[in-house]
Structure 1
Amino acid sequence: MTQKRPVAFVTGASSGIGFSIAKHLKQHGFVVYAGARRVYKMNDLDDIGIHTLSLDVTDSESIQAAVQQIATAEGRLDVLVNNAGFGVFGAIEEVPLEKAKQQFDVNVFGVTEMSKAVLPLMRERHAGRIINISSVDGKIANPLGGWYVGSKFAVEGLSDSMRLELADFGIQVAVIEPGPIKSDWAKIAGEQLLEVSHDGPYQELSKQAAAFLQTVDAFGAQPEIIARKVVQAATARRPRTRYTAGVAAYAGLLGRRLLPDSALDAVLRQTGKLALRYQERSQDEN
């Protein structure tokens, strides 16, 4: 008998990292299901044989319908990649609580609700892997990113607890920690910062943070680098608990390990000021 190919489900697959993860898992022999709210943006995934479906990770009925569709068609689910997420930026004081709750609804509760929905399928076979896309910001705080940072810190902690809870059921949990990625993310985040704090007490800090985001983005990794880390976590006989992805992420986490909080705070504050000066000098030259 021909052994069935392993089945993977990727959330937030309409663009960027999720889109790349779905493609790479397909290339490595997985039957791939890709979920997102904007299904029309996944036509290219359909074209290469990936099953696309509507998914809103903040909607329990949407989650259950998607998982049931996979269970009915495949009878199994081997890998869940919790990738869906976004960033809310601005001072903790200034970001409206509604937006902050939305941040956690997607980045934190979306991860837990997706995981809870697939666990019965995995427990039934005493096998499975849950791969959570966190961030270097899940280890290193930065100014004006508190709500996003907080959500990723939460993903790190939840993943550790899940790993311990699920070990006896043969289910493994791994975390991917990307640094900056080449995308429109930094531009959008910078614009959001300036919009929230354009005339408030954090105006100058917002300019520094936006400049820092744009500078760091120039050294960002391609989404394919993160996708390859996911494939490693999905296929390794004994996956690591954490995979760092991208040169900037390695540098940041090394600084986190070596520097005391006060020194790291000083570095982060100074880099924002330097980035703004560099940006202003470049604009003057142009």
Structure 2
Amino acid sequence: MATGNKPVALITGASSGMGKDFALRLMKEGYIVYGAARRVDRMQEIAAAGGHALAMDVTDDAAMVAAVAQIIREQGRIDVLINNAGYGQYGALEDVSLEDARKQMEVNLFGLGRLTQLVLPHMRARKFGRIFNVSSVGGKLATPLGGWYHASKFALEGYSDALRLEVRPFGIDVIVIEPGGVESEWSGIAAKEAERISGRGAYAGLVAKVKKMQASQKGAPPKAITDLIVEGLRARTPRTRYHGGMMAGPMLFLRGWLSDRMFDRMIMMALR
């Protein structure tokens, strides 16, 4: 960790859920925090706690360039980047338009990649940095109706592995966070999208089953994932991956040990 001034963290998707919790916790841990999101009005709690709220859309290159430039101008450094912005484009793959599919990849992968490009030169200059890419257990396993979301997270896992190898010689760590079920707006929005896109066609029955299953589940509090971020920050040599949240461990274990067909059967049985 850099010494002297307080370390500086940039967190995307900070207007709600895990991102907001990350921001508030890191300030308590002694970080100067810049929370970035499209909805600045929803980051008043971060600003009130002494953080900085930035208007930033990860699909807007100019906004990302301006945000990084502002942080460097004001603080001279970025020690931690938490790539948390993202959403789930749900709906049957036959029904989801390729325009929506491209938007999913743009937000969950390409926007993240571009922001990382902008931050890396400043981390390399200081020979230190920690980049946390918030993936999902859905980056290791797939469930019906979430095909494009899973595709974006599977891609993020591979991107993160390559990035880790490239930047390690410069003193930069890349850590993947794989949440399971977490209390947030995410699941409700994803369910509404699935219903909007596939709720009346050939996949209507599947949509109803998925919606019923999601309604019966209660995710872990965001703190469960924030604790993983803090563990990674405090570690002298952080692990390459951390997972937590509802069913994260069991699901990853089963995906590693069951055959594809057996895992498919288990998923579909859970939807009965």
TM-score range with shorter-chain normalisation? over 0.9
Deviations 1:194-234 (A, max 9, x none): 22112211111111122222223x2x110111111111112
Q: Which secondary structure state, in structure 1, belongs to the residue aligned with residue 271 of structure 2?
A: helix
Checking the alignment, whether the CA contact within 8 Å between 2:138 and 2:153 is kept in structure 1 is: yes
Task: Supply the AA of the counterpart residue of 1:271.
Answer: A
- How far off is 1:183 after superposition? 2.4
- State the Cα deviation string for residues 12-38 of structure 1 (Å, max 9, x = none): 100001000001111111111111111
| Structure 1 unaligned blocks of 5 or more | 274-286
Percent of paired sites with the same residue: 46
Task: Provide the secondary structure at the position in 2 that maps to 1:57.
Answer: coil
Between 200-209 and 141-150, the greater mean CA deviation after superposition: 200-209
| Correspondence for 2:19 | 18
Q: For 1:252, give the aligned amino acid.
A: M
Give unmatched runs, 5+ long, in structure 2: none
* TM-score, scaled relative to structure 1: 0.92
Q: Deviations over 1:110-133 (max 9, x none)?
A: 110110000010010111011000
* Secondary structure at the counterpart of residue 47 of structure 2: helix
Q: Secondary structure at the match of 1:140?
A: coil
| Correspondence for 1:89 | 90
Q: CA RMSD in A?
A: 1.1
SS, match of residue 247 in structure 2: helix
5 Å-filtered alignment, 1:202-217, equals 202-216=203-217
1:59 aligns with 2:56: no
Q: Is 1:230–2:241 an aligned residue pair?
A: no
Question: Is residue 251 of structure 1 aligned with residue 257 of structure 2?
Answer: no
- Using the TM superposition, give the Cα deviation of residue 259 of structure 1 relative to its aligned residue in structure 2, in angstroms: 0.9
Post-superposition shift, 1:7?
0.7
Q: Which has the larger radius of gyration?
A: 1
Q: What is the TM-score when the length of structure 2 is the normalising length? A: 0.97
Moved over 6 A (4+): none
Q: How many residues end up aligned between the 2 structures?
A: 270
Residue 169 of structure 2 corresponds to 168
Distance 2:235 2:76 in 1: 23
66-75 or 193-202: which moved more? 193-202
Whole-angstrom distance in 1 between the partners of 2:194 and 2:246: 25
Work out whether 1:239 is the aligned partner of 2:238. yes
**1:102 deviation in Å?**
0.7
CA contact (8 A) 1:186 1:214 kept: no
Cα separation, 1, equivalents of 2:35 and 2:120: 18
Post-superposition shift, 1:184?
3.1
